[in-house]
Chain A
Amino acid sequence: MKASTTRRLKLAAAHCFLIGFIALILFPFLMVVAISFRKGNFALGALIPTGDDFSLEHWKYVLGIPYEEIMGDGTVRTVQATTPVLVWFWNSLKVASTASALIILLSGTAAYAFARMQFFAKTTLLKSLLILQVFPMVLALVALYALLQLIGTYVPALGLNTHPGLMLTYLGGIAIYIWMIKGYFDTIPVSIEESAKIDGATHFQAFVRILLPMSAPIFAVVFILSFISLISEYPVASVVLQTEDRWTLAVGAQSFLYEQNFLWGKFAATAVLSGLPITAMFLFCQKFLISGLTSGGVKE
């Protein structure tokens, strides 16, 4: 066999493998999309719903648009969602983006202190942060509940069944982000900030005007990661948020799955909907994920 033929075969094999791999990942997603466009609430069926099978009822329901449904006895009735899915969507967006922004603020400043300042028990604190983070937040659910209830008696806006209260619990889980950002700060030479201080900058100015712009990529990564995890976070949100109008998408979607009746169609439409802000956020943050932002400042 000629060398070029071998090469072509290898390339084809590699492509087949990759396409198969991607299909494996995409298949469940396509199934969910298919379910959301299929009549009724069946988990199985054609991947591309056609003809009688195809229906926009779940999407109309989710988006709060009235639609007609044929009942069992042949009568037609108009259905409009009582459950405000779009409100959940808005709640999710609000909680996830605000909490992520606050997480960046908190973990960024904490990471700066850990990376650049000297203080008592620094290493011990840093390690214990990581160890504490090993326990999932769900394990502290009871404590979080009790704490929010207590806080709520003094500051009602931060109590149970409030979005700020939920965000407050999310701000407790930032150790991993502190470690990530600190790791990035450690790669930036201190002399650049020292030089800014000699140029007349205060500690804070050196942080904001020099270090932060150079750290945009890591902040974008932290923002995306925390945004994704918060949009899909269920356990804490389901306990903290008690009334339907405060729910997030993750909690609301779960409510379609009754014990006796799994409303797969509506669940799927909600799930696809919750993927939209994540995709949008990814596209937005991508422009910050550029390498080489810190190159050229110092001789490596």
Chain B
Amino acid sequence: MSSVSLRSLEKLYPASGKNPPFHAVKGIDLEIHDGEFMVLVGPSGCGKSTTLRMIAGLEHISAGEIRIGDTVVNDLLPKDRGIAMVFQNYALYPHLTLFENMAFGLRLARTPKAEISRRVTEAARILGLEGILDRKPAALSGGQRQRVAVGRSIVRNPRVFLFDEPLSNLDAKMRVSMRSEISKLHARLKTTMIYVTHDQIEAMTMGDRICVMKDGRIMQVAAPLSLYHRPDNLYVAGFIGSPPMNLLRGRVERRDGTLLFIESAEADAVFIPLAGPLATLAASVEGRDVVFGIRPENISETPHPADSVRLTLPVELSEPMGSETNAYLKTGSGTLIARLHNEKRYAMGEPLAVHLNLGKAHLFDAATEQAIRP
């Protein structure tokens, strides 16, 4: 078990042939604690996989430093870093049986035969692979293959587990069950795990902490719920949550003594009178361009206990999901999605009165895209 620390880590791919140079990772700092389950999440091309591959030693580090435990591992070979990695495409050895697949690393390390057999059998028991250890990977289902890949990691007793989108090749049902299996594995082994995914549900459900990345930079590192409730910037606010947070562009202005958020729109602009703590925040950015953010579940048909604002907007579309209905309400410049707890299907264009819970609303600076905090 070990902590992992990334300091000013950079990855620059030089121009090759017709490809221009690509700055994949632009100086990131990240401290991953001993035993922590850290999820790196972001869209494709954000540098999350490159970062993981640098930790693994599969990519050269352009600048910066990676420490595993107390050791700087920049120049160590993958095998000397005390890591194990599970790949998106399983990367099993197709010509070897499951047993040999899992034993390969131990054999290279000249582990005694009895010890190899003990460890592989133990891993197979944990992962439910007993009885099929003499098969080859081609005879397995996708879920079983990924389990073998996990097993191959376990037997080596690594200090750090690395997962590179391990579930994205599985079907939806298998993905859910493997998700909980990996979480259980973490609870059992208590080893540091670094998990790369583009799936925010995986990130939210599995991670002790989540590191959201974009264009080679870290946007925010926080525990799942604090990421959800207190996003640092517009990007994180829009990335985490499904349906995503409603974001309206506009200005904070004072009219007749009341602080208002006024949507920027040609016509039918939404006016939101601000109250409570949000008004205090807004006072500091009076007259400036801001983005008003509110999650769909904080818009309801009934008033909220405190700092509630009533708006009447025409319905564009409604999606009854059974337990709730997503109503798309038309504003001057876009839509506001409300997650309503009913089973109604609203007619198109029907005016609907909703209440916004200002206590759960956010303000972002339109220019810097950072959250406005007291």
Residues of A within 8 A of B (CB): 123, 189, 191-192, 194-202, 205, 209-210, 213-214, 292-299
Contact = CB atoms under 8 A, between A and B. Distances in A.
Contact of A299 (B56, B84, B90, B109): B90
Contacts of B56: 194, 198
B83 interface: yes
B91 A200 contact: no
B80 to A, nearest CB: 9
B102 to A, nearest CB: 10
B202 to A, nearest CB: 17
B94 A198 contact: no
A297 B17 CA distance: 31
Given A194-B58, A194-B78, 15 more contacts: A194-B56, A195-B91, A198-B83, A198-B84, A198-B105, A199-B79, A201-B108, A213-B95, A214-B95, A292-B138, A296-B94, A296-B136, A297-B90, A299-B89, A299-B90
Contacts of A199: 79, 104-105, 108, 152, 156
26 contacts: A189-B91, A192-B91, A192-B93, A194-B91, A195-B87, A196-B93, A197-B57, A197-B58, A197-B79, A198-B57, A198-B78, A198-B85, A199-B79, A199-B108, A199-B152, A199-B156, A200-B105, A201-B104, A202-B79, A205-B108, A210-B93, A213-B95, A293-B94, A294-B94, A299-B88, A299-B90
Interface stretch (B139-147, B179-187, B265-273): B139-147
B87 A194 contact: yes
A298 B104 contact: no
A209 B100 CA distance: 12
B66 interface: no
A191 B156 CA distance: 18
Contact of A298 (B83, B91, B109, B139): B91
A195 B85 contact: yes
B92 interface: yes
B348 interface: no
A293 B94 CA distance: 7
A197 B156 CA distance: 13
Contacts of B57: 197-198
Nearest to A189: B89
B87 A296 contact: no
Interface in B140-188: 140, 142, 145, 149, 152, 156, 169
A297 B148 CA distance: 11
A130 B152 CA distance: 41
B137 interface: yes
A2 B56 CA distance: 68
Contacts of B92: 192, 195, 296-298
